[in-house]
Amino acid sequence: MAHYFASDVHLRADHPERDRRFSAWVGRLTPADHLVIVGDLCDFWMAARRGEDPLTGCPSLRALAEFRRQGGSLAVMAGNHDEWLCPAYARELGAEILTEPQDLTIHGLRIRLVHGHRLGARRLWKAGMESRGFFHLFGRLPGPVARGLDRLLTWKNQRGLLADEERHLRVYRAYAAACRDVADLVVIGHVHRPVDEPQCRPRLIVLGGWQCHSSYLCIDLSGASFHVDHERVDRPDPTALPCSPH
């Protein structure tokens, strides 16, 4: 029995390799395991445009529902991409929805969980995209317009990616340091570059996105171990750069 944490899978129908890889990983969990998704399980594009019927055609969501049906424990925290999909996660997947910040103690290890987009590093225009109004508007746009907007946002995110990641990581490190009285381990998502800083107190782990690797945290009786697996990415998304935007 183990506790697993992953985030930023960014499931979307036009990236089936990522979907297959994550669903295979979920399929290897046992019914005695616990899984926490720390935000952005689904990408905004899918969340906005398939909100009423999220399970159809998505192997990863079906795998999560099956994991839950067999007795596995599933909890999901909202990210900036999928906040409006949380009622569907609860209804369709049987997931417990976690609010942030979330504090857990597992085998004596005190853990602070947040997705990371609300810690103060994101740009104001991105915060505007998290509103329910924008979500519904995007969901009603004609397909070609939505895809064009999606490509524009991806391009804009990629342009400033390294600086953006560094800005977030500075904020994350300060946040983790401020949690030292309440946590031994601070686990954050949103930034897609996986980071583990075991020398820090508390230890900071950025779970990393699933665009071009599989990464997750496992906590069991032997402690906390962070896994980043590049080898299972047999066919990376052709559009993915070393790390993709959050």
Give how many residues touch Mn ion by CB under 5 A: 5
Instruction: Please state the separation of Cα 73 from the chain's center in Å.
Output: 17
Distance CA 242, CA 228 (A): 14
Task: Give me the amino acid identity at 54.
Answer: P
CB of 24 to Mn ion, least distance (A): 23
Distance CA 44, CA 30 (A): 29
* Near Mn ion by CB under 5 A: residue from 54, 72, 79, 202: 79
Q: Which is nearer to Mn ion, 156 or 180 (CB)?
A: 156
Indicate whether 193 belongs to the interface with Mn ion (CB under 5 A). Answer: no
Q: Which is nearer to Mn ion, 33 or 100 (CB)?
A: 100
Single out the segment in contact with Mn ion by CB under 5 A; choices: 39-47, 61-69, 88-96, 224-232: 39-47
Indicate whether 244 belongs to the interface with Mn ion (CB under 5 A). Answer: no
CB of 220 to Mn ion, least distance (A): 27
Distance CA 236, CA 213 (A): 8
CB neighbour list of residue 55: distance below 8 Å, 6 or more residues apart? 61, 62, 65, 92, 93
* Near Mn ion by CB under 5 A: residue from 23, 73, 80, 215: 80
Distance CA 223, CA 126 (A): 36
Indicate whether 100 belongs to the interface with Mn ion (CB under 5 A). Answer: no
Indicate whether 237 belongs to the interface with Mn ion (CB under 5 A). Answer: no
Indicate whether 40 belongs to the interface with Mn ion (CB under 5 A). Answer: yes
CB of 194 to Mn ion, least distance (A): 14
Nearest to 36 by CA among 200, 213, 218, 159: 218
Q: Which is nearer to Mn ion, 112 or 168 (CB)?
A: 168
CB 236, CB 17: distance < 8 Å:
yes
Q: Which is nearer to Mn ion, 73 or 80 (CB)?
A: 80
Residue 78 CB: number of other CB atoms within 10 A?
A: 23
- What the block records as the tokens of 67 is 């994991």
Distance CA 193, CA 142 (A): 32
Single out the segment in contact with Mn ion by CB under 5 A; choices: 29-37, 40-48, 106-114, 153-161: 40-48
Q: Would you tell me which residues interact with Mn ion (CB under 5 A)?
A: 40, 79-80, 190, 246
